[in-house]
Amino acid sequence: MSDQATPNVTFHVGPGGRLEGRLRVPGDKSVSHRSVILGSIAEGTTEVDGFLEGQDALATLAAFRGMGVDIQGPDAGALRIRGAGLHGLEAPAEAIDLGNSGTSMRLLCGLLAGQRFDTVLTGDASLSRRPMRRVTEPLARMGALIETSGSGTAPLNIRGGRPLHGIDYASPVASAQVKSCLLLAGLYADGTTRVTEPATTRDHTERMLAGFGYGVRRQGATVAVQGGGRLSATHVEVPADISSAAFFLVGASIAPGSDLLLEGVGLNPTRTGVIDILQRMGADIEVATVREVGGERVGDLRVRGARLRGIRIPSELVPLAIDEFPALFVAAACAEGETVLEGAEELRVKESDRIQVMADGLIELGVTAEPRPDGMRIVGGPMSGGRVAAHGDHRIAMAFAMATLRADGPIVVDDCANVDTSFPGFDRLAAGVGLDLRVAR
């Protein structure tokens, strides 16, 4: 487990104001991870533009460098990856430390189960609490041997040199990480690996595999790959991350007089739940200049201040907005009436328990928030200033920073260092469009 001390970073945010102007948030984290993973096992040189230079994506990059892959950059978001081919990775000299990145750990778990060498995956204290049996158990059915802690968490000891075989797997959780992990293992397996989801999740892995020339079949809720193929190098353009844009969508929606343009945002249909939910709440969001970039739908989003109303969030939108709920909870706190979320128990096992941590913070700010096992009930109303804890969770920190736009007094958010895992430069970009944000280190 990583033993580096986490720096103490605190957000001090002044109340009120509005968001104006235009900005482009950093590159999509999910696409950035996958561009490095697939580029590293492809044949030829893959070029990536718009790569997210945040700690999570950089952890994936460092992991493949440690396995002998020649990666140049990042230089202003540009990478050149000289692929090693499907069977060309080398044994790392030491355990691979993935910091706070659950995506890195779960996806690499599947990929490394098919290698000829042993690997150990570790992470920081937060990542070492996150559940890994959801990937290690189906991988074991494929023939993998992976040792976890007694509670099913990292470190993960992955034994190489074991033949894998394809399986039909009905996932009990709607998780793109589980699906992607098994598809990556399926590249190394005999036969066909099929994963059936209980609900639609983000499909970046399937899209990018196809972009690298690897056959992917989808029928209804099932996606399948045949082992033994090859990936061919390609060019990947990473769109702006809708999960990062979500904080500005909420901030501009709750602050009267706001008028903000977010440029080049990824609009993959498995990721746009946050837009759908906000529009159902009455948000004024206009989608414009929609185009196709590298197999991903991209567009510009113009958002203006609006009077939001509480809603019961439709269950089919929950997996399409699972990472955006910290921001959406802030929108609910500023809406008229009651907002109810159910069927989102996955939020309990993210970088923090996002249901409890957000409820605790909202209550501290005077908002009526009732945490439930699988969601939350929030009654919108006045919001006071105060001091809240992000618990090292980047999305919690940014959500409470935006909440200050509607607060009666300043809000201090503690334990914000991990914002850099997904959104380097958040403080600068937010201040540039009107948020009164100061960072203390």
- Give the containing element (helix H, strand E) for 33: helix 29-41
Phi, psi angles (nearest 5°) of residue 44: 105, -175
Torsion of CA 1, 8, 51, 123, to 10 degrees: 10
Considering the candidates 323, 393, 415, 427, report the single residue annotated as catalytic: 323
Question: Which tokens hold the place of 346?
Answer: 């996955």
> With contact defined as beta carbons under 8 Å apart, do 367 and 392 qualify?
no
End-to-end, the C-alpha distance of the chain in Å comes to 24
Question: Which tokens hold the place of 430?
Answer: 């937010």
Amino acid at 358: M
- Please tell me the distance from the alpha carbon of residue 261 to that of residue 335, in angstroms, as a whole number: 22
- What is the SS3 assignment for 285? strand
- Please tell me the distance from the alpha carbon of residue 6 to that of residue 18, in angstroms, as a whole number: 32
Active site residue 323: yes
Q: Which of 324, 176, 351 is nearest to 241 (CA)?
A: 324
Query: What residues contact 62, with CB distance under 8 A and at least 6 apart?
Result: none
- Please tell me the distance from the alpha carbon of residue 201 to that of residue 149, in angstroms, as a whole number: 28
Count how many residues are written for the chain. 441
Q: Which of 63, 14, 22, 17 is nearest to 39 (CA)?
A: 63
DSSP code of residue 26: P
- Give the containing element (helix H, strand E) for 259: strand 259-266
- The CA-atom distances, in angstroms, between 85 and each of 104, 122, 138, 147, 182 are 19, 25, 25, 27, 19
Q: Which residues are catalytic?
A: 323
